[in-house]
Every structure is written in structure tokens, then in C-alpha cells.
Chains A and B, each alone.
Chain A
Amino acid sequence: MERRAHYRNRVLPWLLIAPQLILVLVFFYWPTSQALYWAFTLEQAWGGGNEWVGFDNFMGVFGDGRYWSTVGRSAVYAAAATGISMGIALVLALFVDRGLKGTKIFQSVFIWPYALAAPVVGVAFRFIFSPQAGMIGSLNRIWPGIWDPATNGLHALIMVIISHAWLSIGYNFVFFLAALQMIPRSIAEAGAMDGARPARRMLDLQLPLIAPTTFFLLIMNIISTFTDSFGLIDTMTEGGPIGSTEVMVYKIYYDGFKSLDYSGAAAQSIVLMLIVITLTFVQFKWVERRIHYT
């Protein structure tokens, strides 16, 4: 992947990258380093002072059974939301890619969810899934108690996961479609000459060819379930009932900002950051390799 042709200049590259670097240092690294420091201290909420406690905060986090259930819940959330969303988006993209008459209309609608803010979707889906109003309300009339995200933690979690999956269909669809359209026409036609049925062609030809994109999306989706779930959960359930929709980011926000435990939240955010970095690193290696080999 290394370029052979480069410009040489001592000053210019630094001038070019300076604005971005300064912004990142001021608005990301400075605050993050402060949070890092808090993770090893007990920070008073009003900023009155703090005390060095070493790894105590981390011990506290790891020794807390509720933290581990939050981690487990985040994993389930990530797997389910990613699976549902990518599955639907892939199927839609495969069929749109066939380019039948009138496909363009479908294609433009399928992108729509991408445009929506998580809180907007949260508000809309909260209404749709409301046990007493909305559509599901009528189901409850027939079978009372069959759907109640307000008291049933599992229902609440399902509700948030479905909303998240729906929200990311647009994004996944765009990338899948772009990847499918990159496959040279000749390959598909060669497959047709061999007499492969269209359905077979999808499975045997197209899927392997878009594997890199699939992998890229997989990682992006998982990261997004860690980092973007906040807007949905905050507008839909606020982590309840009884913490059953509390995922890692929401717990950090809640513990730090609402319960004023800055240090515990800081320790959790470092753990989260390590997880996301690991995931990203894997993905990054993959993307690099792909460019190298093709």
C-alpha cells in the first residue's frame, strides 16, 4: 500500500495537517487525558479536589456484578442490532442491484432511515411501541400484558434493539449497494453463461466478492452500537426498567453525569475505549490488507 511517489517538503505537510491536529488535541486529547486522570483518583463532583487511588476504580468496576451484566447486555445488543440491520440491508441491496424496472424508487426509500437523528427515531418508536397507545396498544387489548416495555425488561431491550437496527438499515444499504455495483458486470455475465440461476449467483458469486465490505460494515455497526446507542436509549427508556436497557455508554453517562461519580465513569470509559480500539484495530488491519491485495 505504500506510495512510491511522494512530495518532499519540510514545512508544508505540517501546515496542512496543523488545523486538524490542533482541533483534535484541544477538543479530544486534552479532555480525554483529564478523564484518564480521574480514572485513577476519586474526583469530587464540584471540583473541590481529588485523591490518588491507583487502580481502585478499575477494581470497583470489575468487581461489580451489575457492570458485567451491562457488558453482556451490550454484547447482545451489538450482535442483535448488527445482525438484523445488516441482514435486512444486504437482502434489499442484493435485489435492488438486479436493476429491475422501477428499482430506483425502492432504492431511494431504502436510504431514508440514514437521515434521521437517533432521538427523533427514539421518540417515534416510543410512540409506536407504547403499550397503551399506538399500534401495539391494540395487541394488548386482545392479549393483555403481551407487550409491555414499561415493566418488562426484555420487551424494552427488544424495542431498543429493533429501533437501532431500523435506524442503521439506510447506512448499511448504501454501502452494500455501492459494493455490489463495484463488481464488474463481466463476472456476473460469466456466471450466467455457466447457467447459474440468479439465486445461486447471489450466493456463490456476489457474496464472496463483497466480503470486505461486509466485514467493514460489521465492525462499523458494532462500534456504532457502542457509541451511537445513547440518543435512542435516552429518549426511549432512560436505561430502564430496572436498568434492563442500560448498555455501556449509557451507564458511563449515567454514572458520571447524573450520579456524579466522575471517577467510576472515567474508569469505565477507559475500558470501553480499549474494547473499541481493539475492534477498530482488527478492522483497520483488514482494510489495509484488502487494498494491498487487490
Chain B
Amino acid sequence: MIERSSFFDFVTYAVMALGLVIIITPFWIVLVAASLSLPEVARVPLTLWPSSHLMENLSAAWSRADLGPKLLNTLVVAGGVTIGKITIAALSAFSIVFFNYRARMLCFWLIFLTLMLPLEVRIVPTYSIAANALLPFQALLDATGITSLVETIAGIRIELNWNLLNSYTGLILPLIATATGTFLYRQFFMTIPDELVEASKMDGSGPMRFFFEVLIPLSRTNMLALATIMFVSSWNQYLWPLLVTTDRPNYGTVVMELKALIPAQNGTPDWNVTMAGALLVMLPPLLVVAFMQRWFVRGLITKDK
């Protein structure tokens, strides 16, 4: 048993309480501001106690930004990214860690490098890809002369075209194309003892059986951690949805709607409605993190399995 020091316990609580204040204050202010009326929110100094207008501000934000369908859209996108990512990343990490082929380190680095350049700085060329996801293949066909060959023989011009603008696919696929998941799985798979693989081989079971019967059950907590990370980050995407969705009413997501709620666009400085909107937008990922936190922390501990 570790001995207790009452003085040090006091310090512990004091520090944690201070941390609580630091973390909670912004949340509290958002909540308070969201509950004020327009004259109250304009008053200086701001009151630190909630007023009674929370529901009306929430409904104002809800209807002004049309949050109902937008929340649904965001849920579809975040869900799609999470599921797609967990699946694809598990498969690719499995391939890299448990198979012995020459190009695997090259493949890993190819995937890993995608973390280095954020979407914001390559946004225009990425848009072209979203407008026609088959562009690289078309270029390949053109460059190898297949296009002109087919054209002279069959008289048909090959035009590959797959438009992802204004679609859930366009919102989801580019977000799956990052390395976070693969990297996390890889780190975990590397801690799986060789003996497990050997034992599985002895049983005469193939790699896919090993994957489904040994690896997947073992990595359940990691998957939950990854799911949390992916859900939160795709929920919070901002610039990409702004660019690929011109059809806002049908495919808009909530975070981009939030910017439309910032005053100065429409005149009155109704920060109370903006804050109510912020509250609604941040709630779902907050619930996910709060609910998943037990597995979240454990899923990151990769060694004590």
C-alpha cells in the first residue's frame, strides 16, 4: 500500500479543482451566453449566471441554421468515415505487419506520409479529384496510349467520370484516405507476440482466420479508441464540406453551418443564438467522448494486453 499524505492529498484536490475551472469555464460561458436574451448578451460586464432564454435561443439556432437535417447529414458522414476507416485501416495494417513482402515498408511510408500535408494546403487540386475521382485512371489510360488505341480500333472515346461533388461519398472518401488509423493499428499489431502467430499456423489456420479469430477480438479496445478519434475528427471537419457541397440544403454539415451563425453576416450581434448553435453542434461528439472515455484511455495503452 502506498502511504497517504493528507497535505499532498489537499494539493491534489486543489490542482484538480483548478484544472476543472480552466476546462469548464469556456463551456460554462457558452452555456450562459446561450441562455441570455439579446439585450443581456450585449451588456458589459457579462453575467456569469444563466438566464431563462436557453430554449428559445436553441430553437432560433436550430431553425436558422436548419440543424435537423444537417445533424443527420453529419451523422451519416461521421459514421461512414468511422466504419470505413476502422475496416480499411485494420486490413492495411494487417497486411503491413503480418506479411513478408518487399514493398511493405514502402507501402507503409506511402500511407504514413499523408499525415504531413493538411487538406487546407492542397485544396484546389483535391477539388478536381472530387469532381472526377477517376481522373488519375483516365490520365493513366491517356498516357499509356490505350485511349487512342481504343479510339482508332473501336471508334469509342473512353471517358471515365465519377463525380463526387454533392454526395455523401465525396464527403466521406477523402477523409478515409489518411494514415491515423493504419498507424494506430500498426503500433498495436506489433505488440502481438510472435507465439500467437506460430500457434495459429500450427493449427493450420490461414491468415484470414487468424485475422478474424485472434486479431480482431484482441484489438477491440483499440478499435473503440480509433472509432472515437475518427468520429470526433470527421464530425468536426469544416473546410472540406464547405467546398464540396454547393447543395447546402441537402448535404450541408453542422460545423459549416456554425460559421453562418456568426454575427456580422446579418446585422444584429446576437451572440446568444451563435452560442446556442455552438452548444448543439458540440453536443454529439462530446457525448461520444464522455461515453467512450473508459475504452478510449485503455485503447491507447497498447502494451499491457
Contact = CB atoms under 8 A, between A and B. Distances in A.
Complex contact flag A–B (Cβ < 8 Å): yes
Interface in B261-282: 262, 269, 271, 274-275, 278, 281-282
Contact of A230 (B1, B177, B239): B239
Interface residues of A, number: 104
> Which size class do B's interface residues fall under?
35 or more
Contact of B258 (A5, A119, A174, A291): A119
Given A16-B95, A31-B125, A88 B297 contact: no
A223 interface: yes
A79 B126 CA distance: 31
B29 A128 contact: yes
Interface in B173-225: 173-174, 176-179, 182, 187, 190-191, 194-195, 197-198, 201, 206-208, 210
Contacts of A174: 293, 296-297, 300
A21 interface: yes
Interface string B149-183: 00000000000000000000000011011110010
A126 to B, nearest CB: 8
A227 B119 CA distance: 9
A112 B22 CA distance: 12
B125 A117 contact: no
A206 to B, nearest CB: 12
B159 to A, nearest CB: 17
Given A9-B207, A137-B46, A30 B110 contact: no
B236 A116 contact: yes
Interface in B69-123: 88-89, 91-92, 94-101, 104, 107, 110-118, 120-123
Nearest to B99: A13
A230 B259 CA distance: 14
A218 to B, nearest CB: 16
A67 interface: no
A256 B121 contact: yes
B194 A3 contact: yes
A20 to B, nearest CB: 4
B301 interface: yes
A30 B296 contact: no
A192 B2 contact: yes
B247 interface: no
A98 interface: yes
A84 to B, nearest CB: 11
Interface in A145-191: 166, 169-170, 174-175, 177-179, 181-182, 188-189
Interface string B1-37: 1110100110011011001101110110110010000
B39 to A, nearest CB: 12
B129 interface: yes
Nearest to A226: B118
A138 B44 contact: yes
B15 A91 contact: yes
Interface string A226-258: 111011000100000000000001001100110
Given A111-B296, A124-B29, A132-B44, A20 B92 contact: yes
B251 interface: no
A138 B96 CA distance: 58
A142 B289 CA distance: 40
Interface in A5-41: 5-9, 12-14, 16-17, 19-21, 23-32, 34-35
A102 to B, nearest CB: 8
B94 to A, nearest CB: 6
A125 B26 contact: yes
A111 B129 contact: no
Contact of A23 (B88, B95, B274): B88
Interface stretch (A48-56, A58-66, A265-273): A265-273
Nearest to B48: A135
A182 B298 CA distance: 10
B286 A115 contact: yes
A199 to B, nearest CB: 7
B60 interface: no
A32 B22 contact: no
A238 B92 CA distance: 39
B135 interface: yes
B71 to A, nearest CB: 14
Contact of A30 (B3, B116, B125): B125
A252 B114 CA distance: 18
Given A13-B99, A109-B24, A137-B45, A31 B107 contact: no
B281 A120 contact: yes
B296 A24 contact: no
Contacts of B52: none
A21 B16 contact: no
B262 A235 contact: yes
Given A8-B99, A17-B95, A117-B282, 9 more contacts: A5-B194, A8-B100, A9-B207, A116-B285, A119-B238, A120-B281, A138-B45, A189-B2, A257-B124
The 9 nearest A-B residue pairs measured at CB: A138-B45, A117-B236, A31-B125, A5-B197, A13-B99, A16-B95, A6-B100, A20-B92, A23-B177
28 contacts: A5-B195, A7-B98, A7-B100, A7-B207, A12-B208, A13-B99, A16-B91, A23-B176, A26-B177, A27-B177, A30-B135, A35-B121, A35-B125, A95-B15, A100-B13, A109-B24, A111-B290, A112-B286, A117-B285, A119-B236, A124-B278, A127-B274, A133-B44, A133-B46, A169-B22, A177-B297, A189-B2, A277-B116
